[in-house]
Structure 1
Amino acid sequence: MKIIKPLHSLSIVLIAMLVSSCVPELSVRNTQQSIPNQFNTDSDTTNISNIQWGQYFDDAYLVALIDTALQNNQELNIFMREMEMLRNEVQIRKGEYLPFVDVGAGAGLEKPGKYTRAGAVEESLEIREGQDFPEPLGDFMVGAYASWEVDVWKKLRTAKKSALTRYLASIEGRNFLITNLVSEIARAYYELLALDRQLAIVQQNIGIQSNALQVVKVQKQSAKVTELAVKRFEAQLAGTRSLQFDISQKIVEVENEINFLVGRFPQPIQRALDSFEKAIPDSIQAGLPSQLLENRPDIRQAELQLAASKLDVQVAKANFYPRLEINAGLGYQAFNPKYLLETPESLMYGVAGDIVSPLVNRNAIKAFYKNANERQKQAAIEYEQTILNAYVEVANQIANIQNLRQSYRFKFEQVQRLNESIDISNNLFRSARADYMEVLLTQEDALETEFELVETKVAQLQAWVSIYRALGGGWK
């Protein structure tokens, strides 16, 4: 059995340890981001992110879609496989600081040349012992071998801790993916309801414009208007009828977007039309900005990534230090199988220890160490950026909800006045006190404003979804 010999000269060990002690001094970057005390609102600690998504969205059809997506969404399932790989990485790192033990057996034959050193030794033995040396000489062996890198500087244990931290970060990454998935489905669902409402508005206006066209045709017969007025009303009606097919196409596309998120092939999406009239609360309970650090999975993920990067710096730094390796073996070895298990004659064992320190290839180790240090600084900046982004998202959505509430109030009033104007313009047109162009423009303005009202309403609903996501809701 081959046994690894220890270093023969203590001076070599001391020189290697002296060289390895010259480790470059690099400083890690600590986070410097301080979060404001509140969101420019009250300082109530009540936070809507603590509400489970099944209770936050009270639409049974929407809840069913989200529940199905959490089971079948391909992106989420792909990420789950990545998590399993990171989990296996933890086991790999754990195994590196434990002894490696192998069991093996071998057999061989050897016939040295007569004029070689081994041949000369055999011939001298034959002369001295008076018996022939076996030719060829067998070599049979069975035993166990162990090798172990003693984790003196805790490099291997730190690497395992880093892998574990990254696995925990992946769990937070999954939670953040769930938060976004819940938000995307809810936003698409409300967009679908808005398109349904717009389609109903178009169909209603088709009826209004058809009636107006009939009035114009009667007016033409009585020579009150010309053929031009008839053609303009017919053109307006054709444009409105065309609009309903554009909306129908958008409905199909949004339905298929939801189906894709749910992880199934295209099919009609069941929905509750009355959910579009959902009232948005006058005030949003956003809690305190400091709660984002606990509620936002992406912030916790960035924090864990930062912790892992700091551990990686320690691992990279430990590469400068000497490594202590221990190798051992125990087994049986004989030139004839019948003597293989003779104890203690055929018993063999050996133990050896090596201290190895980098001496020549230190530039590569320095570069690896510097890169680890730069990645730590990058992770610190990314952590600060994630906190800043989270705060900005919440602040934007709080302002958005407040502004949309006022916009919807005035837009609703505008729609009411224009609907009243349609009746007035029609009556004036019948009595020849208004031009047909006034009727056309009033109908076009009313249709456009009703569309804008629907868009404002869906923006309200989507802002209500976005503030829930921005505060860290949806993954619990």
Structure 2
Amino acid sequence: MYKKLVYQSLGVAFAALTFSACKTPAVVEKTVNTPVPASYNNSQDTTNTAQVQWKQYFTDPYLSALIDTALQHNQELNITLQEIEVAKNEVRATKGEYLPAVGVRGAAGVDKVARYTNIGAMEANTNIDRDKEMPEPLPDFLVGAYATWEVDIWNKLHNANKAAVARYLSSVEGKNFMVTNLVSEIANSYYELLALDNQLAIVQQNIGIQTNALETVKLQKQAAKVTELAVRKFEAELLSTQSLQYEIAQKITETENRLNFLLGRYPQPIQRSTQPLIDMVPERMQAGIPAQLLQNRPDIKQAELDLAAARLDVKVAKARFYPSIGITAGIGFQAFNPSYLIKSPESLLYSLAGDLTAPLINRNAIKATYFSANAKQIQAVYNYERAVLNAYIEVANQLARNQNLAKSYDLKARQVEALTQSISISNDLFRSARADYMEVLLTQRDALESKFELIETKMQQMSARVTIYRALGGGWN
């Protein structure tokens, strides 16, 4: 009868607390709106370059060695790997919260009760045989085990664990996105270094041409065909070109050190290909369809996992309005003499208790947490939509860039060919006094600038090949 009354009382209390606590405040929800276009250029070809592994995509052995070194020693990447370990431990911690906690306890002490207290007075007024009196002070020895468990009836703790798992997976995708960017940055710097090497070679070749031209002008001055002004102009142009080679050398040093930093090592020469950059032909890119970005881009998958975690956080925050049930239990042995600890059942003790708690008044802190969790969920929705939109625009931009750079390169190559031929023509005309020295100087300068621009355009082509590979989501697998 007594147990039935207790159970009924607990049931009524639970129902009352649940009814009063379940009045959660209303919030504005937002769903994801991410319709992506069906194609980039009305092409339904699903072949996607992003599926190619970076070792197969970058076939230059020197570049592959640099990337491989960076993936092992780059400090920022290694920092991110430790952040993944932190996220993994958070998953372990949240999982332990919804499992029972069991521990052991051992204790020993003495207790002297003051005579002028209720217990002390009772002992003083009790007539007990001398051999049956309690020791004073009273020793106390305890050994036992205890357990605590919060019954997760609203899935609060399980959802918190799922959110931690989602964040762990998000950190993994964040690492993959960092790998993609790292591979891209190394490849771009590598092609920039090759371009500088080619520009330096062009400058040194031009120095030889201008040196020969200067000697020719000096001979013509001796023959009274030109004045000292022409000699000085040619000499100044030669000095300007000679100075340019040191500017390029400085850029080479800085680019090498940028690569060394990405590789996590101190400055040292970068081994690289000696193949002329203009001989490199970018392979045709296959972008697939936009829907593949959702699977290939690590930043999109990271945003998606962050959104899933944020939605679970809202459920966790909402569950805080509901009653929680906790169970505690303990069992052990306690006695004032260690030899009595093994005597059972006299020294045996055990306990079992349950508690029911629910917020009723002044729930501002819980409401604030709930509203914040919902705001972060809406923020995560916008972040996911932005990641998808940004990925599509990046690919569209790089596809257009590839096409425009190819057309630009063809025109600049024809320009270089025309200006290179004009150098010989201007020199011949100058020797026969049918062109003045300024025409020769301007022709040489224009030819040098056009060769520089051609190398720059080729470097941009190679960079666009790298960038679209990153934009499609390649480089991390």
Q: Which residue of 2 aligns with 1:365?
A: 366
Structure 2, unaligned runs of 5 or more? 1-5
Q: Deviations over 1:85-136 (max 9, x none)?
A: 1001110000001111121111222222222111122124335999534211
Query: Does the CA-based 8 Å contact 1:7-1:355 persist in structure 2?
Result: no
1:244 aligns with 2:245: yes
Q: Which residue of 1 aligns with 2:24?
A: 23
SS of the residue corresponding to residue 101 of structure 1 reads strand
Q: Which residue of 2 aligns with 1:199?
A: 200
1:350 aligns with 2:351: yes
Q: Deviations over 1:417-446 (max 9, x none)?
A: 111111111111111111111111111111
Q: Which residue of 2 aligns with 1:181?
A: 182
* Distance in 2 of aligned mates of 1:6 and 1:421: 104
Query: Does the CA-based 8 Å contact 2:282-2:462 persist in structure 1?
Result: no
- Residue type matched to 1:216 in 2? V
Q: Which residue of 2 aligns with 1:161?
A: 162
SS of the residue corresponding to residue 125 of structure 1 reads coil
Query: Does the CA-based 8 Å contact 1:6-1:353 persist in structure 2?
Result: no
Query: Does the CA-based 8 Å contact 2:40-2:290 persist in structure 1?
Result: yes
Alpha-carbon offset, residue 187 of structure 1: 0.5
The percentage of aligned residue pairs carrying the same residue is 59
Structure 1, unaligned runs of 5 or more? none
1:335 aligns with 2:332: no
* Distance in 1 of aligned mates of 2:200 and 2:273: 15
- Residue type matched to 1:311 in 2? L
Q: Deviations over 1:125-155 (max 9, x none)?
A: 3359995342112221111111111111110
Query: Does the CA-based 8 Å contact 2:32-2:381 persist in structure 1?
Result: yes
TM-score where L is the length of structure 2: 0.95
Q: Deviations over 1:282-306 (max 9, x none)?
A: 7421100001111111111111111
Query: Does the CA-based 8 Å contact 1:74-1:263 persist in structure 2?
Result: yes
SS of the residue corresponding to residue 275 of structure 2 reads helix
* Distance in 2 of aligned mates of 1:216 and 1:378: 71
CA, structure 1 residues 230+130, in 2 after alignment: closer, same or farther (shift >3 Å)? closer
Paired residues for 1:416-455 under 5 Å: 416-455=417-456
Query: Does the CA-based 8 Å contact 1:7-1:13 persist in structure 2?
Result: no
SS of the residue corresponding to residue 189 of structure 1 reads helix
Q: Which residue of 2 aligns with 1:388?
A: 389
Query: Does the CA-based 8 Å contact 2:282-2:461 persist in structure 1?
Result: no
SS of the residue corresponding to residue 359 of structure 2 reads coil
- Residue type matched to 1:238 in 2? L
Q: Deviations over 1:427-475 (max 9, x none)?
A: 1111111111111111111111111111000000000111111111111
SS of the residue corresponding to residue 135 of structure 1 reads coil
Query: Does the CA-based 8 Å contact 1:292-1:390 persist in structure 2?
Result: yes
Query: Does the CA-based 8 Å contact 1:6-1:352 persist in structure 2?
Result: no
**Misfit runs of 4+, over 4 Å:** 5-15, 127-131
SS of the residue corresponding to residue 268 of structure 2 reads coil
* Distance in 2 of aligned mates of 1:282 and 1:189: 17
- Residue type matched to 2:87 in 1? L
Query: Does the CA-based 8 Å contact 1:76-1:174 persist in structure 2?
Result: yes
- Residue type matched to 1:349 in 2? Y
Q: Which residue of 2 aligns with 1:261?
A: 262
- Structure 1 stretch 19-28 or stretch 83-92: which is displaced more? 19-28
User: How many pairs are equivalent?
Assistant: 472
Query: Does the CA-based 8 Å contact 1:313-1:376 persist in structure 2?
Result: yes
* Distance in 2 of aligned mates of 1:267 and 1:21: 66
* Distance in 2 of aligned mates of 1:275 and 1:143: 79
Query: Does the CA-based 8 Å contact 1:295-1:471 persist in structure 2?
Result: yes
- Structure 1 stretch 278-287 or stretch 68-77: which is displaced more? 278-287
* Distance in 1 of aligned mates of 2:62 and 2:283: 25
C-alpha RMSD of the superposition: 2.0
TM-score where L is the length of structure 1: 0.95
1:471 aligns with 2:465: no
